[in-house]
Structure 1
Amino acid sequence: MVKVILLIIFAGAALYFALRLFLVHRGMDTAGRALSEISGMPEENRVLKSEIPDRHLEGLLEKINENLTELQKYRIQYKAQETALREQVEEISHDLRTPLTAILGYLKMMDRESLEAEDREALEVAVKKSETLQGLIQQFYELSQVTSENFRLEAERLDAAKLVRECCLAYYEVLEQRKLEAKIEIPDGPVWISADRNGLERVISNLLKNIERYAVSEFYVILYSDGGRIRLVFGNDIELDMRRENPEKLFERFYMGSASRSRGGTGLGLTISRHLVEGMHGKIHASYQERKGKDYLEIEICIM
């Protein structure tokens, strides 16, 4: 009789601990899923809660919640600093654009024919440097715009083939001056997509400017159409030292590779392009390709 009682006690204890272990495991799984959700939506300021009365699990969750609270404070501070910096950049850019535009206007109004050769050369340098500065200020302003929480792109039905063709023609003279061998493949008929016209045009212009600045001897622009989705590929041969760099870093703000430092790059054009493409629910990525013994930088855009 005693053995039966002991057996019942042991069986009950085993059942209790098994059930307790099951509940603890389930509670940890639930907390793990909740932690993943909280990490994905930090702005909601949620905390982890224990579904079972277990002091060890509750103690662990309490420590995690303390860390989540601290991280939330840092996120709020970082977001506030980013917003303040963006607003300051926007204000400074706006304040600089007006007087710089006036300076450029006066420089271009000057009578070049009445100047000595040396003075004309100095004037051309001043105009060129002013235009470069104007471009930099414009990029800072655009970056502050596309990273703003209130920035929105308006989708419309547009012919991607026509837009790409027009942008390439607009850059034809500049690219021809670089004596670059071109390969452009665009469908003859219309390729209809839903996208923001100004945003997509800006992206294409940025990538063509990137080619103009860094291509060694040749480039290609290819537009693929696949049932309402487009793939737009920009590629150009590159110098050997660029191959050592991570291509995805090109989209980081202010990132400049070794070639950029000697060719006037700002590290903003591709960052702006990334924000614009993602704002149109598209994707953009960069990679290195090797063809016929030459290295190429290839940037591909996918937009529905």
Structure 2
Amino acid sequence: MFKQVKKRLTFLYTISLLCLLFLFIGILYFLISHEINQKQVDEVNGYFSKEKMDFMEDLYEKKHRGVEYDPNRTIFYYVYNQEGNLRYGKEVFQNLVGQIKKTEGNSSIKRMEWGKKHLLLVKKTLVINGVLYGFVVLGMDITGEEHVIQNITWTLVGMTLFFSLLFAYLGYYFAGQAMIPIKRAFLKQEKFVSDASHELRTPLSIFYGSLDLMQREEKLSAYGLEVLADARAEAELMNQLINNLLFLARSDKKELPLRLENVNLSELLENTCKRFSRRKAESIALITNIQKGIYLRCDELKIQQLISILLDNAFRYTVDGKIIVSLDTRNERLIITIEDTGCGISSTDLPHIFDRFYRADLSREKGGTGLGLSIAKSIVDAHGGKISASSIEGEGSKFIVFFSREK
């Protein structure tokens, strides 16, 4: 149990840290890339502002025609007239002009890949006194900057994964250290419950014997016999409580003995329902929808105890109405459903009904020790099944038990 809690805490801690680190990387990547990209665009825009008049001259200069190749340039450009015809340009990569698609609009910024190169392209219009003469496509090689951004990103991702593993290990270790005092206290409580339950059996047996001897006395008055009957009823309640505590103590230690055999679950459920139907109130209708011939590999006595707890719970809190018991198979699972039309359970109490000694509101005070549903859940867990409960206050409750056919 403690190992599962420690693993769950470590997993939640690591996932939370991983999400925060990846969020940090995403924000950092956005800020770095935005800053670098903005500087690149500003550099191209600055070059355009500086050379704008030269670009105007290139439109009408007869000597400037075609494209010149100059690999030593930082910024390359292509000058187009109003009709979109290329007039002049200087490029750093041969035959690049054929790969540049003319974009619509007065100005635009885009990035493209050409081979292994990353390029920034900026389109600027040549306008003087409101008259459009043409446009220029300027560009620069940003391969180095892109590689820097990628290297920074992968470095941050690698560091994130490394530190996440490191923090997962440290979190697992420190979670274990933090749970040591909790584990000690739990084990002490567990040992106390187990020892106290065992030790109480002896004086309780003596108490039972003393009650039997006193009942044989002929001189006891009617009042004395009534007192003895009350004492025996309380002793039986105490004995039931001790047995329940011992059951839960063994379940906590994973020492709950199970005698597994193939049991006809249909017959077991029908027989248990018949036993309860003999002592039910006339105002309660017991309806069974039990599929025949369903077998389960289980401990028959434990499953019978489980069914008895759920049925007793249904009859205890149903004064007038019906109780429906069903058994069927669905998707390789056996499903036991016990539904009543009793007082129901409030939404506040519903999440806690399987807790030990938990008692719901006063409208459901009908005696008992508050351990029945805890024992039912322990039995289901021991058989690898699942139990769930749903309820609407004032309308009734439904308990569903799932078992796998393999069990």
* TM-score category (smaller protein): 0.7 to 0.9
Which of 189, 195, 218 is the aligned partner of 1:91? 195
Query: Retained in 1: the 8 A contact 2:266–2:327?
Result: no
Residue type at the aligned position of 1:277:
V
- The unaligned stretches of length 5 or more in structure 1 are 32-49, 51-57
Distance in 2 (CA, whole Å) between partners of 1:124 and 1:285 is: 38
Instruction: State the Cα RMSD in Å.
Output: 3.1
Q: Distance in 2 between matches of 1:260 and 1:26?
A: 59
Which residue does 1:22 correspond to in 2? 154
Q: Which residue of 2 aligns with 1:42?
A: none
Q: Which one has a bigger Cα radius of gyration?
A: 2
Match for 1:222: what amino acid?
Answer: V
What CA deviation, in whole Å up to 9, does each residue of 1:160-200 have, x standing for no partner? 11111232334345x42x55513231537432122221221
The equivalent residue for 2:236 is: 131
Q: Secondary structure at the match of 1:251?
A: coil
Match in the other structure for 2:337: 233
Name the structure 2 match of 1:44: none
TM-score (normalizing by structure 2): 0.58
Give the aligned partner of residue 221 of structure 2.
116
Mark the CA change 1:179 to 1:254 in structure 2 (over 3 Å): closer, same or farther: same
Deviation, structure 1 residue 134:
1.2
Structure 2 gaps, min length 5: 1-71, 75-91, 93-118, 120-139
TM-score (norm 1): 0.75
Secondary structure of the residue aligned to 1:263 is: coil
**Partner of residue 377, structure 2:** 274
1:297 alignment counterpart: 397
Query: Cα–Cα, structure 1 residues 117 and 255, in superposed 2: closer, same or farther, change >3 Å?
Result: same
Deviations 1:190-241 (A, max 9, x none): 321222212211211211222243222244242222266322122223337x
Name the structure 2 match of 1:69.
173
Give SS of 1:224's match.
strand
Over the matched positions of the two proteins, sequence identity in percent amounts to 24
Whichever structure has more helix as a proportion of its residues is: 1
For the 8 Å contact 1:288–1:298, the answer to whether it is kept is: yes
Within 5 Å, give how 1:1-304 maps onto structure 2: 1=72, 3=74, 11-25=143-157, 28=160, 31=161, 50=162, 58=163, 66-109=170-213, 110-111=215-216, 114-151=219-256, 153-173=258-278, 175-176=279-280, 178-187=281-290, 189-226=292-329, 229-239=333-343, 242-259=345-362, 262-289=365-392, 295-304=395-404
* Structure 2 counterpart SS, 1:89: helix
User: Is the contact between residue 206 and residue 270 of structure 1 (CA under 8 Å) also seen in structure 2?
Assistant: yes
Q: How many residues align?
A: 268
- Distance (Å, rounded) in 1 between the aligned partners of 2:154 and 2:206: 75
